[in-house]
Every structure is written in structure tokens, then in C-alpha cells.
Amino acid sequence: MMAVARRDLRRELRRGEVAWVTIPFGAVAVLAIPLAIGIDVPTLNRVGPGLYWVVVLLFGVLVTVRHTATEQGVAAVSARLGIDPAAAYLGAATASAVLLVVFEVAVGMIAVALYDIDPERWPWLLLVVPAVAVGLALLGTMAGSVAAGATATNLVPFLVVPLALPLLIGATAAFDAGLTQPGGILRWVLMLLLVDVAALVLGVLTARQLQETG
């Protein structure tokens, strides 16, 4: 599993797709959305976290499916080498989760500065950010495997975004609850963890079948 994760991370270090493409465009989106719709500062302070999580969802999909075009060939090589499909799935998802955390932190710092988000909300990000990253990585990796087997890689975002909507809802609600009702954040964090566990179990159980159909 870790060998697959290291391979994907080394590939990203060579290509720099997340660092030099996805993060800058995500930062531009965080800046451009309020400018385009003309939100004033008080309103932006209130709705800014929701806008941030929308950007994370949409651009995070690009992070998780960046390797989809080569997924079919990688799966074939993994099969010849005798790598367990579930381990390959978890390794790819681990690498995507690490990159997603980097993306969330980088864009999050810009969002905090631009949206003037209340500092009291920041500590809750320590719970929400990794939960969203793991869930989105698991869903994106699984969708990439499905699309690779169907030779329809351009459909991956359409597969991931609907499945990831509970992550968007849970992250936004948890962020708001952390400020207004600190005790209420737990149910939303549990919701995020439930999505993560469901994606993990489903991905592991279907990994071999998806590899064979790929």
C-alpha cells in the first residue's frame, strides 16, 4: 500500500500538477467568486466557509482523478506484479488524501485572509480538513477505477461530485456548528467519518472486480 502511495507522490513531485496548476486555480476561484457576485464583507464572513468548501469539492475532484488517464495501464502492471487490488486502491487513495490536505491548507489560508473568517472557527478545521480529504480521496480513487474500466475517464467528475455532496454538507455544517454550537459539531464530524468508512469498505470490496474489468 505504502509503495503505491510513494509512487503516486513521487509522480506528483515530478509533474507538479497540484502545486502549479490546481492550487493556483483554486486560489483564483476563492478570490473570483465573491468578486463576481458582489458579496459585501459581513456577508462574505458568514458564507465564506461554504464557498471555500465548494472550491475544495470541485478542485479536489481534479486532485483525486489526476491519474485516471493512466489508471488502466497501472492496474495491468499491478496485476502482473501481484499487488493486491485493495492495497493498490488504499495506496492511491492515501496519496490523493495527502495532496488534498496540502490543497485544502494552501487554499484555506487564502480563504481565511480574504474572507476575514472568525479565528474561533479555525480549530475545527483540524477535524474537518482530514475527514474531507480522506473521503474525497477514497471516492475519487474508486470513481477513477470505474471510469478506467469503462474507458470514460471524462465522466469521473460527474461520478464523484454527487457522491461527495454529503462531505460538502457535513464540512460546512460542522464549520458553522463549531462556532455557534460547539457540541453540535460532533454529529457532523461523525457524518463525515461515516462517509469515509462507507467509501473505504466499498472501495476495498470492489477493488479486485474493478481491476479485472479494467
Q: Is the pLDDT of residue 163 over 80?
A: yes
User: Strand, coil or helix: what is 127?
Assistant: helix
Instruction: State residue 209's pLDDT score.
Output: 85
- Whole-angstrom Cα distance, residue 75 to residue 88? 8
Average per-residue pLDDT for the chain? 84
- Whole-angstrom Cα distance, residue 49 to residue 112? 9
Instruction: State residue 190's pLDDT score.
Output: 92
Residue with C-alpha cell 476575514? 116
Lowest mean pLDDT among 3-12, 66-75, 151-160, 185-194: 66-75
pLDDT confidence bin for 179, thresholds 50/70/90:
low
- Residue 40: give the domain boundaries: 2-213
Burial class (CB in 10 A: 0-12, 13-18, 19+), 69: middle
- Whole-angstrom Cα distance, residue 52 to residue 57? 9
Q: Is the pLDDT of residue 180 over 90?
A: no
- Whole-angstrom Cα distance, residue 190 to residue 133? 15
- Whole-angstrom Cα distance, residue 8 to residue 194? 26
- Whole-angstrom Cα distance, residue 26 to residue 18? 10
Instruction: State residue 129's pLDDT score.
Output: 94
Residue 139 and residue 197 in contact, taking contact as beta carbons nearer than 8 Å: no
Question: For the chain, what is the domain count?
Answer: 1
Q: Is the pLDDT of residue 203 over 70?
A: yes
